[in-house]
């Protein structure tokens, strides 16, 4: 029974030994399958990574190509910029030289302009001073002469050379002397005389003319000829007024007033006083002195006779013109010497 039992217990151990290799084989297969799966998965991952790397490499190559083209375009632009800078630099150098030449030309023109401007201003001042002096000498017109002197002073103020500043002082002194002459206003005097001529038609004349008695001729022949021709001698305006009616004396008075008016405008003092004296004589013979209007007119004629049309020439007149001419002559000699010296040095 014991042997039976042992055999019964020994028989089941053989199948267990057979299961171990099977398990190992199965494990090996599992491991192999896992390895195969891993290998396959690894290859697919590598392929995907390789594809990704390839696409990235292509993208990088494309970008590099773009960067290379951009760099080449930038290089070309830089080359063009260098060429432009070089040409601009050359142009700037040329412009610099031209600017220097222009500056020299402008400096020369400025010197010439200043000298020409001073010469023109001095010519203008000399002409105005001459005109002012002649105006006063011929017509005794202090107002017009003062205007010419003031214009000459303006012309002298534009001269750049300070040596001519003393001439302006002399001009100012002469203007003051002209203002102190106190010459009568010829326009006002002429207007007053014209007003008297207009009022003369309203003044009453004398009641009767003072006609001298006629002397009978001694011979019969003289009496016969005297019926046709009468000869009288009238050397003065008073004689003419006595021999004619008051109306004729009034007309002569108007003519003398017009003559005095013309002499006043011309500042002819001698002719003015002679005409006014004759007018006053005819006025006394032609009009009734008892009338108030005639009395007022007589006073106005007396005041007009006292008008100073031609005051004496001031002693300073012409001083500025002489000084200006002397200074211009001195400067001309200096310029001539400055021109002659360089030519002598060159020889």
Asked if residue 324 and residue 301 are part of one domain, the reply reads: no
Domain count across the chain: 2
Are 138 and 282 within one domain? no
Residue 30 falls inside a structural domain: no
| Whether residue 290 sits in one domain with residue 191 | yes
**Res 289: pLDDT:** 82
pLDDT score recorded for residue 125: 92
- d(CA 336, CA 341) in angstroms, rounded, equals 9
Q: What is the dihedral of CA 113, 117, 119, 121, to 10 degrees?
A: 180
Neighbours of 148 (CB within 10 A): 23
Mean pLDDT per 10-residue interval, the chain, length 347 residues: 45 54 76 75 71 84 87 88 86 84 66 68 92 87 89 90 88 90 80 89 67 54 61 52 63 89 84 89 85 88 83 84 90 63 48
Indicate whether 103 belongs to any domain: no
SS3 at position 287: strand
Same domain, 239 and 294: yes
Residue 156 in domain: yes
Q: What is the pLDDT of residue 182?
A: 75
171 with 239, same domain: the answer is: no
Query: Residues 190, 177: one domain?
Result: no
Q: Are residues 196 and 295 in the same domain?
A: yes
Is 198 within the bounds of a domain?
yes
Whether 94 is covered by a domain: the verdict is no
Structure letter (DSSP) for residue 255: H
pLDDT at 164: 86
C-alpha dihedral, 61 to 66 to 69 to 73, nearest 10°: -160
Same domain, 160 and 195: no
CB atoms within 10 A of CB 74: 11
2, part of any domain: no
Length of the chain: 347
| Whether residues 270 and 335 fall in one domain | no
Contact (Cβ atoms closer than 8 angstroms) between residue 311 and residue 140: yes
47 within domain boundaries = no
Going by C-alpha positions, the residue among 259, 311, 260, 263 that lies closest to residue 143 is 311
Residue where the block lists tokens 């040095």: 345
Q: Concatenated DSSP letters for 313-326?
A: PPTTTTHHHHHHHH
Domain span including residue 319: 117-181+315-346
Tell me the Ramachandran region of residue 267: left when phi exceeds 0, alpha when psi lies from -120 to 50, beta otherwise.
left
Statement to judge: residues 331 and 255 lie in one domain: no
Q: Are residues 263 and 295 in the same domain?
A: yes
What's the alpha-carbon Rg for the chain, to the nearest Å? 65
The residues with which 287 forms a beta bridge, in sequence order, are 205
CA distances (Å), origin 75, targets 68, 80, 85, 169: 10, 9, 15, 76
Q: Is residue 111 part of a domain?
A: no
**Domain check: are 237 and 334 in the same one?**
no
Q: Where are the alpha helices (DSSP H) in 140-236?
A: 142-157, 165-179, 186-199, 220-226
The secondary structure of 192-211 as a DSSP string is HHHHHHHHGGGS-B-SS--P
């Amino acid at each position: 029974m014991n042997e039976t039992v042992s055999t019964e217990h020994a028989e089941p151990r053989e199948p267990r030994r057979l299961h171990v290799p099977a398990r190992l084989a199965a494990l090996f297969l599992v491991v192999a399958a896992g390895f195969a799966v891993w290998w396959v998965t690894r290859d697919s991952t590598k392929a995907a990574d390789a594809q990704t790397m390839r696409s990235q490499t292509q993208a990088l190559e494309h970008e590099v190509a773009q960067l290379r083209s951009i760099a080449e375009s930038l290089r070309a632009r830089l080359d063009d910029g260098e060429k432009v800078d070089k040409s601009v630099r050359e142009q700037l150098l040329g412009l610099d030289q031209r600017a220097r030449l222009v500056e020299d030309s402008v400096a020369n023109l400025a010197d010439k302009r200043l000298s020409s401007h001073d010469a023109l201003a001095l010519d203008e001042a000399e002409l105005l001073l001459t005109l002012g002096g002649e105006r006063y000498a011929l017509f005794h017109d202090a107002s017009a002469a003062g205007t010419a002197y003031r214009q000459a002073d303006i012309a002298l103020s534009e001269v750049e050379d300070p040596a001519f500043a003393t001439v302006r002082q002399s001009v100012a002194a002469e203007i003051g002397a002209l203002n102190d002459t106190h010459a009568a206003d010829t326009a006002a005097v002429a207007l007053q005389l014209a007003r008297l001529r207009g009022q003369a038609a309203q003044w009453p004349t004398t009641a009767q003319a003072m006609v001298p008695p006629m002397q009978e001729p001694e011979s019969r022949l003289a009496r016969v000829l005297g019926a046709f021709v009468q000869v009288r001698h009238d050397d003065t305006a008073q004689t003419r007024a006595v021999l004619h009616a008051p109306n004729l004396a009034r007309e002569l008075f108007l003519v003398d007033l017009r003559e005095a008016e013309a002499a006043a405008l011309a500042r002819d003092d001698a002719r003015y006083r002679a005409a006014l004296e004759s007018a006053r004589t005819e006025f006394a013979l032609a009009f009734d002195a008892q009338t108030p209007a005639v009395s007022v007119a007589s006073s106005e004629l007396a005041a007009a006779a006292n008008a100073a049309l031609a005051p004496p020439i001031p002693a300073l007149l012409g001083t500025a013109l002489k000084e200006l001419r002397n200074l211009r002559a001195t400067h001309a000699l200096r310029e001539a010497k400055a021109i002659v010296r360089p030519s002598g040095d060159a020889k």
